[in-house]
Structure 1
């Protein structure tokens, strides 16, 4: 019988599989997108904040879903060198290549022919400021935590998403005071514009779309503690 538990290091490959199997179509159809995605959106959370990462176990030890994240994005970014050294730089040959310019901004994830810009995607893996901080000052002023939920198709629609979220929220909502002395109002997430079909799912879990002073193709959603 399936159950929820905390992440453990032996889940590494299973987490990557879930990430790849639940990608939006534009990334899922790209070999580079599938290869890099777990390094951009999954492995850094399980490496840097394992106590706030939760797995849906199929009952035989195999992850079939997860809710992962961190309570303090600023601290997460400050500690990111550990992820680069311990995970990215020692990834299997050909898996992740360190871009020469880690600070380049505004480079599109998709090229003119529709293919994935592998360098830009790898840059997001290596530079957490580009991934989470740049352009998000208004969000980070109040909402210091972030998270991702992904479930394999065979366990969707069974209530596990809500249960996973409850476990995650329970692990972070008590962390109101951040390392830098600021306080957090709750969690924020970004939903790709071409994946808007999941917005109602998050709304059922207590999130709402956050109106922002900048235009974006991404849906930004927040949930208060």
Structure 2
């Protein structure tokens, strides 16, 4: 079967978790970085389709899901939802850890889960939505990334959302180039990367 882009179904969640890990090292495979393979998606993918499944889309072929976009229409409201519904259980399940010194980074993500911060930002006034997108290597370079951004952008426009932002790791130069090709522009530069924005 040819690959298709479709709305998220709850049965896709496990595949989203797997793809998040396989692309989680600045676009490369992060499997070796985490003893718990679910932690990365607990932070950067899993909560989105739970909070608002209408803003998640997937690309699937005969092997299953090969890519996805997850998003929220209102970052400030999403952060409040995380505080109320997502972080409490994860904090109970994952107590703070010390760095084991073996090159793994579970302790870094666990610290983020316990100390998630959301500072009011004037950027959210114009670009309240944000997203994360990941495609397995075999699905890249075929236009699926552009179509996923288009599907999410269309859903956000239907809700009256005027702008979208995202953060990109500075090491992921191919992702930055892709986002700029589909219309994003750089709004902020950080020590870890850049915040890009898109007018909808």
Counterpart contact for 2:7–2:57, Cα < 8 Å: yes
User: C-alpha displacement at 1:158, in angstroms?
Assistant: 0.5
Which of 92, 99, 110 matches 1:122? Answer: 110
Residues 194-205 of structure 1: matches in 2 within 5 Å? Answer: 194-205=171-182
RMSD: 2.8
Q: Summarize the Cα distance change of 1:124–1:175 in structure 2 as closer, same or farther, 3 Å threshold.
A: farther
Q: Summarize the Cα distance change of 1:58–1:139 in structure 2 as closer, same or farther, 3 Å threshold.
A: same
Q: What is the count of residue pairs matched by the alignment?
A: 195
Equivalent residue for 2:184? 207
Asked whether 1:67 is paired with 2:55, we answer no
List gaps (5 residues or longer) in structure 2. Answer: none
Under a length normalisation based on structure 2, what TM-score does the superposition of the two structures give? 0.84
User: C-alpha displacement at 1:145, in angstroms?
Assistant: 0.2
Q: Deviations over 1:198-222 (max 9, x none)?
A: 111101111011146xx53321100
Equivalent residue for 1:10? 11
The range that moved more, 189-198 or 47-56, is 189-198
Equivalent residue for 2:199? 224
Counterpart of 1:124 in 2: which secondary structure? helix
Higher relative strand content: 2
Q: Summarize the Cα distance change of 1:53–1:126 in structure 2 as closer, same or farther, 3 Å threshold.
A: farther
Q: Deviations over 1:181-204 (max 9, x none)?
A: xxx530010001222331111011
User: C-alpha displacement at 1:31, in angstroms?
Assistant: 2.2
Equivalent residue for 2:134? 150
Distance, in Å, in 1 between the alignment partners of 2:174 and 2:54 is 30
User: C-alpha displacement at 1:89, in angstroms?
Assistant: 6.8
Distance, in Å, in 1 between the alignment partners of 2:20 and 2:159 is 27
Equivalent residue for 2:162? 185
Asked whether 1:139 is paired with 2:123, we answer yes
List gaps (5 residues or longer) in structure 1. Answer: 91-95, 101-110, 177-183
Q: Summarize the Cα distance change of 1:211–1:38 in structure 2 as closer, same or farther, 3 Å threshold.
A: closer
Distance, in Å, in 1 between the alignment partners of 2:148 and 2:86 is 24
